[in-house]
Structure 1
Amino acid sequence: MKQSMDRPMIIQNDQTLLLEVNHPKFKKARKEISSFAELIKSPEYFHTYRITPITLWNAAANGYSWQQVIGILDQYSKLQFPTFIKDEIRIYMERYGILSFKREGNQIHCKSKDPKVFDKLLSYASLQRYFKERLNEYTVVIAEQDRGFLKQELIKLGYPVQDLAGYQEGEFLSLSLLSRTKTGASFQLRDYQRKAIDIFYEKGAVSGGSGVIVLPCGSGKTVVGIGIMELLQAETLILTTNTSSVRQWIHELIDKTSLTEEMVGEYSGQKKEVKPVTVATYQILTYRSRDELEFEHMKLFQSRNWGLIIYDEVHLLPAPVFRYTANIQAKRRLGLTATLVREDGKEDEVFSLIGPKKYEVPWLQMEDRGWIAKAKCTDIQIPLPKKWEKQYIEASKKQKYRIAATNPLKIKVLKKLIKQHQDDPILIIGQYLNQLEEIAKELGAPLITGQVKQQERDQIYKAFRTGKIKILVVSKVANFAIDLPDAKVAIQVSGTFGSRQEEAQRLGRILRPKEGENHAYFYSLITQQTVDQDYALRRQLFLLEQGYEYDIQHYAL
């Protein structure tokens, strides 16, 4: 077997890739393999990546061929890797587009480049109800209402569909972007925002109009959505994570476009407005008074003739909204997110029902251009107090994490960091309410949790934005879509176990570009040699994949 030890990677039989961290070609290799593999482990000397069908299909949707992927692996692999891995890469990547949906008159035809695929699929009893009539060896008729459900079934069998059946245009809506916002600021699309818009829209072709745009927090994903709305000129439904985010969307829409307040509605727990542009929360759509009842607010999907549906923070899309989205495949669908990582493993649902990843810009590339703040990430390792050690050893795994995450020494370290950054706006973020309440009391700082009413939250956020308060303590309700542009320091005292998406979103709270020195500081307080440390390593995977490095510091008693 040929060897080339000047290369940084070992390819294993289970399709995982071991990438040597200290190798001079590490950064270049990491950048290239990240387009078709995901980081799953990051020990000190070797990072482990995994190739999956979804990572390969997203690469295929972004224009990569199986030959290119194999070429990249050959370029960086120390050893020749098995032929069967090359064959699997080829088979999976060739499957993207082997099946397609196309509209012919009033019918949707499912077409296959290989008639043997239809012979195979028609043998599945679970699929037979979707196939209405086989016109020839390459074409089967399907029902309009089955378009999404069939895509879900087929991707589970390893056949992602390229949906070219087109879209309903929706009700016309006149909308234009302003060159100067209504608050008086100069405004224009950045080059990467324009590129994302154009790639999604594809000049109105049926191959465009559905998919996911992946951009870092603070880089203006909302503006990308608004830019697509301008191209489509159609009534739009926007779904997002919470009421604060709803109101931020509404503010941006009215501030940066020709839309007026009368044309934009809030559909939340507090208001039920349905207007030509309506912004709703996922929570209200999935609300029902009893489990056995229908989701009464799902009717919002049909309440107007929408031409576009925007799924903000699409990585958080709840299961009931996935199910309903399967019914509306004739609507253009845009997913926006900073990371396509889903902790529930439903990336295939996003791929089949919203669309493939259409465009992505690496975080550090945005940082280099000054579009987001330069972030310094630091892990501060803290010992567990002796008096807690016995309790920790005897606890269940879940209780172990709570004990380690709420280590009281973290408050001492927290105070030192606040003193170090006394002139900077600081967010303190955590998982456990008792811990956050104690911190807020110690610091005399306001605390925002899910129990704080929306009106009070808005007042606190406003006070933080205007500099009336410098320190804000927040629970996980502030993980997503909260616009606090001046926040410069984030201190994470506890997290949601090993959530990679949460780590990315929490860093994202401080990434909006800053006046003057464009720097931000992200600290994680970790109890060393405990599950707190294990989960922290898991949470950091996405950011490590993006090229961020964590400086390790140790707190001595």
Structure 2
Amino acid sequence: MTEEELDDFKEEQTTQNLVKKKRTRSHAPKQKLLQLEANYFDGETRARSNKYKYFKDLYILENSDNRPAIVMPDGHIFVETFSPFYSKVVDFIIAIADPCSRPKYVQEYQINPYSIFSAVSIGLKAKEIIRILAIISKTPLTDEFKEHIELCCLSVGKLKSVLRNTKYYIESNEIRRLLELLEIPFFEERHVYPEPDEKTYKHTKFLKVGKEELETIISGIGESSYHGNVARLTEGIDDLLDTPLEKQTILRFQIKTESVREIRQYAVDHNLFISDEYDFMNDKTIDNLGIQLKNTTRIRPYQEKALTKMFSGGRSISGIIVLPCGAGKTLVGIAALATINKPTVIVCNNRLTVKQWYNQILQYATMDMKKIFLFSDTEKQALPQTGPCIVISTYSMLSNPNKRSDKSQQIIDQIKSRDWGLLILDEVQDSAANTFRNVTDIAKAHTRLGLTATLIREDDKISDLRYLVGPKLYEANWLELSEQGYLARVKCFEVTVPMTASFYKYYLLSDHFRQRILCSSNPNKIRTVAGIIKFHERRGDKVLVFCDIIHILIHLAGLLHCPEIHGETPENVRSSIFHEFKNGSKVNTLILSSVGDKAIDLPSASVVVQVCSNYGARMQESQRLGRVLRPKSGNREEFNAFFYSCISDMTTDLKYSARRQQFLVDQGYVYEPVSDARERWPWPEDLLSDEKSEEEWLRKMLKVEKIQSEETEYESYSSDEYEESQSDYIDTIGKSAPHFSLLN
């Protein structure tokens, strides 16, 4: 009997013993983990949750004044930012816990199984996590808390999801883990038996990884040099290359391709940690793209920190990176693309963003640009039959359930027919929508990277991203980036104004739809907006005014003599207005609908004024603030950007305002309440200043008959009225236009 046959015989005996004993010993740790999960790591603070938690046995340790944190038995960590040790511990805390709220003095984080998963993925061990938490905490760690940390860490890395030749497998070097899975009916139903010509292990359900591939898997453990110009993200492991490696047997079983998303969801719901690593450096089955970052491209420290969480030990990990608007999310995606250097699909939310990604790759990287293919409603470039490439598309193009054109279907089939090294999901929260979540099924990728500034949705689907994409790998601190000069320093105001008597009378007698129209078009609010615009134009600032209700937006633009942009604005008009706003002095104030919430690049804007919005949407509030987050010149200690949310008092505006602000407050922003707007920003004397003009304004507002979502748009403004209102702007911008300003 050869040595290899002897090894196989021993492992077969071990397998048979495990099959006999698995019911008595294999399920206990898993059940305990699930039981703990039901009681710990389950939630939020009392301010956010209906659950009330008692920690009557918790106490403060003696001589713990200098310790910067309080670690609660449920996994919450409260950190004092004023502690002299804050800067030494915050990176560690971010590595093991998700940020919940980061105001100025005390920040809140939450440990959960998937934050521990991320921590273990970058090399942290249970003993080290527990040891450091014990050092920094003012309170003692409970035994149950420590046991849960250990169990979470032990569960990570035992099972891995693998993509080979458009087929998905689950693999492990511990056969009992695979046996446990196939004892679960859910996995047994979705398991694919090996083909007759495939090399199986003694157990007929398992495939044995061949010697050549096994050596590739093992050799990837020590690699830490990357393609592209990203600085090395892991250090100190090169010596492992010279360390003798013990003989390993890695087994896998195939799963049905159409069940991959279900399996990931099941794994998340049942705390089965199936890791999604990709040994891109040793993958010889997919050709390299030949992309590198330019020598002039500079990766900022926080961007490199984010990339470090994605790459560890020469492998890439699927997950989500959260960076504020204006902090360079696209560059992080391009750096990840250059690091993996494999065929990539980039998914955006509209065709404008598709072009932006193309231009950014051109700006930051060097490669054969003929390898980049655009797939949108206006550009459909067929992929080459062979060779690596990059596809930039949109969620709607890839996931459209309706009948496609022959050209579109051909491209979709090409995308489906090959393995991709990387799938980048821009504005990743959109991929959780029911209509878009099949994007990850269409583009089968070894690594999935989600990018966003706002990892929030107003439904309950945001947690689905854990199995659709992966865990959150990194989330930047907005205020810290502002203090370091990477973002503008924004001052936020909540400006409350009373309703006028005539508007409030109709408001009290109206249904919800008309109430929203009336409190949004409140003459006192309009006068306040005009006063704020006038104040900032005199300072030389560029102002963006947001109004979701199109009927109000168009009349407001006429009232203030400012150009407007919304969903029906022709592309040529939109481009002309944006160009003049960015580069000229004729357009200093621009009125936008929700189409301006994202994917517009207006770095000169320093003021946002919000007239009305989409109810309590937190994401929209943060996206609008993001329009002025681009770094500004001047003293870092002074506010150099301003955000005004205008509210009609004693109306539904108040109801939604607090919820809208929640995300930004959690990022550390403070809204200054203002109730004396007329004194601070004097109203124009000739704007809705008499009873007749106010009645005429009310009459126009009551004409609105129907709400529709424009990208949440409101309708009942006729096309003739629209074209008439725009004709002046089309003519004047192309010629020597008068200054669009309240200062005229």
Q: Tell whether the structures are fold-level matches, with TM greater than 0.5.
A: yes
- Alignment of 1:142 with 2:254, yes or no, is yes
Instruction: Tell me the residue number matched to 2:665.
Output: 544
Tell whether the 8 Å contact from 1:497 to 1:535 is kept in structure 2 after alignment. yes
Aligned to 2:467, the other structure's residue is in SS state helix
- Alignment of 1:424 with 2:537, yes or no, is no
Letter in 2 for 1:178: K
After TM superposition, give the deviation of residue 424 of structure 1 in Å.
0.8
Instruction: Tell me the residue number matched to 1:409.
Output: 524
Matches within 5 A, 1:103-122: 108-111=169-172, 119=180, 122=182
- Alignment of 1:130 with 2:247, yes or no, is no
- Tell me how far apart the structure 1 counterparts of residues 339 and 552 of structure 2 sit (CA, whole Å): 47
Aligned to 2:292, the other structure's residue is in SS state coil
Aligned equivalent of 2:582, options 441, 465, 480: 465
- Tell me how far apart the structure 2 counterparts of residues 345 and 513 of structure 1 sit (CA, whole Å): 33
Matches within 5 A, 1:132-531: 132=192, 141-143=253-255, 145=257, 146-164=259-277, 170-180=286-296, 187-202=297-312, 204-205=314-315, 208-259=316-367, 262-274=370-382, 276-289=389-402, 296=409, 298-299=412-413, 301-302=415-416, 306-317=420-431, 318-326=433-441, 328-389=443-504, 391-393=506-508, 400-422=515-537, 423-467=540-584, 468-517=586-635, 519-531=640-652
Q: 1:200 to 1:49 in 2, by over 3 A?
A: closer
Letter in 1 for 2:490: A
Tell whether the 8 Å contact from 2:277 to 2:318 is kept in structure 1 after alignment. no
Q: 1:220 to 1:556 in 2, by over 3 A?
A: closer
Deviates most, 347-356 or 61-70: 61-70
Q: 1:282 to 1:414 in 2, by over 3 A?
A: same
Q: 1:504 to 1:528 in 2, by over 3 A?
A: same
Q: 1:2 to 1:147 in 2, by over 3 A?
A: closer
User: Which deviations, in whole Å up to 9, do the C-alpha atoms of 1:127-168 show, x marking residues without a partner?
Assistant: 3312356659x9762326244441122212333421246567
Q: TM-score, normalised by structure 2?
A: 0.62
Aligned to 1:100, the other structure's residue is in SS state strand
User: Which deviations, in whole Å up to 9, do the C-alpha atoms of 1:408-432 show, x marking residues without a partner?
Assistant: 4221111111112101111112322
Higher Rg: 2
Letter in 2 for 1:504: S
- Alignment of 1:36 with 2:109, yes or no, is no
Instruction: Tell me the residue number matched to 2:734.
Output: none
Instruction: Tell me the residue number matched to 1:183.
Output: none
Q: 1:178 to 1:87 in 2, by over 3 A?
A: closer
- Tell me how far apart the structure 2 counterparts of residues 334 and 148 of structure 1 sit (CA, whole Å): 16
Tell whether the 8 Å contact from 1:248 to 1:483 is kept in structure 2 after alignment. no
Q: 1:420 to 1:111 in 2, by over 3 A?
A: same
Q: 1:440 to 1:82 in 2, by over 3 A?
A: farther
Aligned to 1:322, the other structure's residue is in SS state coil
Deviates most, 430-439 or 195-204: 195-204
- Tell me how far apart the structure 1 counterparts of residues 116 and 597 of structure 2 sit (CA, whole Å): 29
- Tell me how far apart the structure 1 counterparts of residues 551 and 571 of structure 2 sit (CA, whole Å): 21
Q: 1:225 to 1:256 in 2, by over 3 A?
A: same
- Tell me how far apart the structure 2 counterparts of residues 91 and 264 of structure 1 sit (CA, whole Å): 45
Q: 1:538 to 1:134 in 2, by over 3 A?
A: farther
Instruction: Tell me the residue number matched to 1:184.
Output: none
Q: 1:8 to 1:334 in 2, by over 3 A?
A: closer
- Tell me how far apart the structure 1 counterparts of residues 661 and 593 of structure 2 sit (CA, whole Å): 19
Aligned to 2:97, the other structure's residue is in SS state coil
Tell whether the 8 Å contact from 2:345 to 2:443 is kept in structure 1 after alignment. no
Two-structure CA RMSD over aligned residues (Å) = 4.4
After TM superposition, give the deviation of residue 403 of structure 1 in Å.
4.3
User: Which deviations, in whole Å up to 9, do the C-alpha atoms of 1:187-231 show, x marking residues without a partner?
Assistant: 4332333343354243642xx152222211111111122222222
Tell whether the 8 Å contact from 2:609 to 2:643 is kept in structure 1 after alignment. yes
After TM superposition, give the deviation of residue 450 of structure 1 in Å.
1.8
Letter in 2 for 1:454: E
Tell whether the 8 Å contact from 2:99 to 2:475 is kept in structure 1 after alignment. no
After TM superposition, give the deviation of residue 104 of structure 1 in Å.
10
- Tell me how far apart the structure 1 counterparts of residues 513 and 137 of structure 2 sit (CA, whole Å): 40
After TM superposition, give the deviation of residue 355 of structure 1 in Å.
2.3
- Tell me how far apart the structure 2 counterparts of residues 149 and 50 of structure 1 sit (CA, whole Å): 27
Q: 1:165 to 1:514 in 2, by over 3 A?
A: closer
Q: 1:89 to 1:281 in 2, by over 3 A?
A: same
Tell whether the 8 Å contact from 2:492 to 2:643 is kept in structure 1 after alignment. yes
Letter in 2 for 1:552: P
Aligned to 2:293, the other structure's residue is in SS state coil
Aligned to 2:658, the other structure's residue is in SS state helix
Tell whether the 8 Å contact from 2:163 to 2:445 is kept in structure 1 after alignment. no
Instruction: Tell me the residue number matched to 2:43.
Output: none
Structure 2: 5+ residue stretches without partners: 1-56, 193-203, 208-249, 384-388, 679-744
Aligned to 1:355, the other structure's residue is in SS state coil
Percent identical residues: 28
- Tell me how far apart the structure 1 counterparts of residues 510 and 502 of structure 2 sit (CA, whole Å): 14
Letter in 1 for 2:334: I
Q: How many residues are aligned here?
A: 541
Structure 1: 5+ residue stretches without partners: 181-186
- Tell me how far apart the structure 2 counterparts of residues 249 and 406 of structure 1 sit (CA, whole Å): 37
Deviates most, 47-56 or 272-281: 47-56
Q: 1:394 to 1:203 in 2, by over 3 A?
A: farther
- Tell me how far apart the structure 1 counterparts of residues 119 and 666 of structure 2 sit (CA, whole Å): 16
After TM superposition, give the deviation of residue 172 of structure 1 in Å.
3.3
Aligned to 1:332, the other structure's residue is in SS state strand
After TM superposition, give the deviation of residue 488 of structure 1 in Å.
0.9
After TM superposition, give the deviation of residue 234 of structure 1 in Å.
3.0
After TM superposition, give the deviation of residue 436 of structure 1 in Å.
1.7
Letter in 1 for 2:479: L
- Tell me how far apart the structure 1 counterparts of residues 124 and 505 of structure 2 sit (CA, whole Å): 54
Letter in 1 for 2:170: H
Tell whether the 8 Å contact from 1:241 to 1:480 is kept in structure 2 after alignment. no
After TM superposition, give the deviation of residue 245 of structure 1 in Å.
1.6
- Tell me how far apart the structure 1 counterparts of residues 449 and 348 of structure 2 sit (CA, whole Å): 12
Tell whether the 8 Å contact from 2:276 to 2:317 is kept in structure 1 after alignment. no
Letter in 1 for 2:554: E
- Tell me how far apart the structure 2 counterparts of residues 59 and 198 of structure 1 sit (CA, whole Å): 12
- Tell me how far apart the structure 2 counterparts of residues 162 and 214 of structure 1 sit (CA, whole Å): 20
